[in-house]
Amino acid sequence: MKKIILFLSLVISLTLPVWAYAAEKGTVKVAVASTGETTAATVSNLAARSPYYLIFDGKGNLIEAISNPYKDAAGGAGPSAANFLAEKDVNIVIAESFGIKMINVLKNKQVRYIEFEGRVNEAVKKALGLK
């Protein structure tokens, strides 16, 4: 019984910030830096240079797959990608890793960032607290 209570407390404590953030913003939009255009693709290792961004609603439904316009930028890919995603009303970005310049812009735009290694569909489920 204690293990169940501990587990539920952990789940609630991990998902509460997402729910609170969503309530503050109105809706949740999650962008996952991806190596491909499908939910079975791998989360990209670099957020700013990701080939694609997959955008999901707060229920985990794929809204759109977008080719990253800054993946081949000579410089400034991080801040540009962060602004691009913020303009799309994304409030959570997931990637394997983030550069400090992208992190700073995301923080200034009040966009959460989550580091995750694995498949896109697993990342979305984890971020939204879905099964």
Q: Which residues are 94's β-sheet partners?
A: 32, 114
43: alpha, beta or left? (left if phi > 0; alpha if psi -120 to 50): beta
Q: Quick: pLDDT tens for 96-113.
A: 999 999 999 999 999 999
The candidate with the shortest Cα–Cα distance to 50, out of 100, 5, 93, 15, is 93
Give the Cα separation of 97 and 55 in Å (integer). 18
Q: For the residues 83-106, what does the mean pLDDT come to?
A: 97
Band of pLDDT at residue 83, cut at 50, 70 and 90: very high
Give the Cα separation of 109 and 82 in Å (integer). 8
The highest-level CATH class for domain 2-128 is alpha beta
* Residue 8 one-letter amino acid: L
Q: For the residues 122-127, what does the mean pLDDT come to?
A: 94
- Say whether pLDDT at 85 is over 60: yes
Prediction pTM value: 0.79
Q: For residues 2 and 129, which has the higher predicted lDDT (pLDDT)?
A: 129
Band of pLDDT at residue 4, cut at 50, 70 and 90: low
Report CA-CA distances (Å) from 125 to 4, 71, 119. Answer: 21, 25, 10
Whether the CB-CB separation of 32 and 54 falls below 8 Å is answered with yes
Report CA-CA distances (Å) from 120 to 13, 15, 73, 123. Answer: 23, 18, 24, 5
pLDDT > 70 fraction of the chain, expressed in percent and rounded = 79
